[in-house]
Amino acid sequence: MFVDRARILVKAGKGGDGKLSFRRAKGLPKGGPDGGDGGKGGDVVLVADEGINTLIDFRGIYEWKAGDGEPGGSKNCTGADADDRVIRVPPGTVVFDEETGEELADLGPGDIAVVARGGKGGFGNDHFKTSINQAPRYAEPGQPGEERVLRLELKVIAEVGLVGLPNAGKSSLLKTVTRADPKIADYPFTTLSPQLGIAMVDDDRRIVFADIPGLIEGAAEGAGLGHDFLRHIERTKVIVHVLDVMPPDGSSPAKNYRAVRKELMDYSPELAEKPEIIALNKLDLVGDETAWEDEVKKLRAELKLGADHEIVGMSGGIGVGTRPLLERLWVMLHPAGEPVEGWSVERAD
């Protein structure tokens, strides 16, 4: 399970000021009060939108503010209420007041929560007219809106973990099959923390992926951030072991496979027993489909793997071979007869 967090400041709108005004018309030099009330300030509202997967959109925006209500006008005109500020978050988001620690909302798909209420509009002077005071010279200012700092937390179960040595092409694969946008470059350790994305197999089927940062020798003993990375893999249901068909260091896919498998086994034998698909990646570098098949057969022979051990030839960078991978993963994640959830988010208790 992965916890995505964000901290934001929400400011509801101020209510509009009431109007101080008196009727003025020909033949009515001293008319009574006609100042209207101010409009209500906008609320700040959170909406759980199934089209959003992470809290990444909140990384660069800290302050979210609703509009202020319009002031009242003459002739008892009430100022317009401000529009609410709607903030869309992923289902499964839990909202806390940062100052008090109070849980304000636990949002499921389609849920709505008002997290800051707009101020009421002030009364115009017409509101204060009495039998004793026929010409009140006072109008009320609008009330301020609520303001608070929120902590948003999203707990996401990654069903599939992408593992492999640094620069094996995991981030490119994640970007191709999901809506995630991980940093990608031709050097090791592009990914420094788990990256999440949701792959749409079709309109009704989704798979949550996590790109686990590249493992290095000694990860099981804690080298680099090895323990943290391996702990993330433990929480996934299926492992996709991504191998570079032409490793830039001159090694072989089989050698690199064994190196990562050793780290998994050293850390946890149970982890090493998780269901696995091998994704032999970057096959666009070796030629046509016949060459692809030859590389897959060669790897299977070198690793002495039976026909029941899945190896998928592909090129994550250009998206070739990803469809068979997704379809096979779906079958592994949802055996026949098992109920299928359409959304892989664990609601916080």
**What is the pLDDT tens value at each position of the chain, 349 positions in all?**
566 788 999 999 999 999 999 988 776 667 789 999 999 999 999 999 887 767 877 877 889 999 999 999 999 999 999 999 999 998 889 999 999 999 999 998 889 999 999 999 999 999 999 989 989 999 999 999 999 999 998 876 678 888 888 776 777 777 777 755 544 333 333 334 567 777 878 777 878 887 776 554 443 344 344 445 666 677 788 999 989 888 888 889 999 999 888 888 887 788 888 899 998 988 888 777 778 888 889 999 999 988 888 898 888 777 788 888 888 999 888 876 454 443 332 222 2
Q: Do the domain assignments include residue 93?
A: yes
64 and 134 in a single domain? The answer is yes
Are residues 162 and 145 located together in one domain of the fold? no
User: What are the two backbone dihedrals, phi and then psi, of residue 323, each rounded to the nearest 5 degrees?
Assistant: -60, -50
Q: What is the pLDDT of residue 126?
A: 93
Residue 255 is assigned to a structural domain of this protein: yes
Whether residues 139 and 67 share a domain: the answer is: yes
Instruction: Based on the fold, state whether residues 275 and 184 are members of the same structural domain.
Output: yes
Give the Cα separation of 208 and 345 in Å (integer): 9
Q: Is residue 29 part of a domain?
A: yes
Statement to judge: residues 95 and 182 lie in one domain = no
Decide: 285 and 250 in contact? Cβ < 8 Å.
no
CB of 277 closer than 8 Å to CB of 314? no
Cα 303 to chain centroid distance, Å, stands at 38
Query: What is the spatial distance between Cα 184 and Cα 181, in angstroms, rounded to a whole number?
Result: 9
Please choose, from the candidates 190, 295, 309, 308, the residue with its C-alpha nearest in 3D space to the C-alpha of residue 253. 295
Among candidate residues 304, 297, 260, 263, the one with its CA nearest the CA of residue 280: 297
Together in a domain, 221 and 304? yes
**Is the distance from CB of 119 to CB of 142 less than 8 angstroms?**
yes
Q: Is residue 314 in a domain?
A: yes
Structure tokens at 348: 């916080």
pLDDT attached to residue 222: 41
| Other CB atoms within 10 A of residue 257 CB | 20
> What is the CA 192 to chain-centroid distance, rounded?
18
- Number of domains comprising the chain: 2
Tell me, yes or no, whether 253 lies in a domain: yes
Please indicate, yes or no, whether residues 138 and 274 belong to a single structural domain of this protein: no
Beta-sheet strands, E only, within 98-236: 103-106, 112-116, 147-156, 160-163, 195-202, 205-211
- Picking from 98, 125, 155, the residue at the C-terminal end of a domain is 155
Same domain, 168 and 314: yes
Asked whether residue 147 falls in the same domain as residue 194, the answer is no
Instruction: Quickly list DSSP for 37-96.
Output: PPPPPPPEEEEE-TT---SGGGSS--EEEPPPPPPP-STTPPPPPPPPEEEEE-TTEEEE
Residue 303 dihedral angles phi and psi, to the nearest 5°: -90, -5
73 and 119 assigned to the same domain: yes
Regarding whether 304 and 165 lie in a shared domain, the answer is yes
CATH of the domain at 212: 3.40.50.300
Number of other residues whose CB lies within 10 A of the CB of residue 121: 31
Task: Say which CATH number the domain at 127 has.
Answer: 2.70.210.12
Residues 6+ apart with CB under 8 A from 294: none
Q: Which of 155, 177, 201 is the last residue of a domain?
A: 155
Residue length of the chain? 349
347 domain-assigned = no
Q: Is residue 78 part of a domain?
A: yes
Q: Residue 191 domain-assigned?
A: yes
Q: What is the pTM of this model?
A: 0.56
> 296 in helix, strand or coil?
helix
Domain boundary among 111, 135, 155: 155
């979210």: which residue's tokens?
64
Measured CA distances, 201 to 92, 210, 323 (Å): 21, 16, 8
Q: Are residues 130 and 197 in the same domain?
A: no
pLDDT for 184? 36
Domain encompassing residue 131: 1-155
Give the integer Cα–Cα distance in Å for 265 and 263.
5
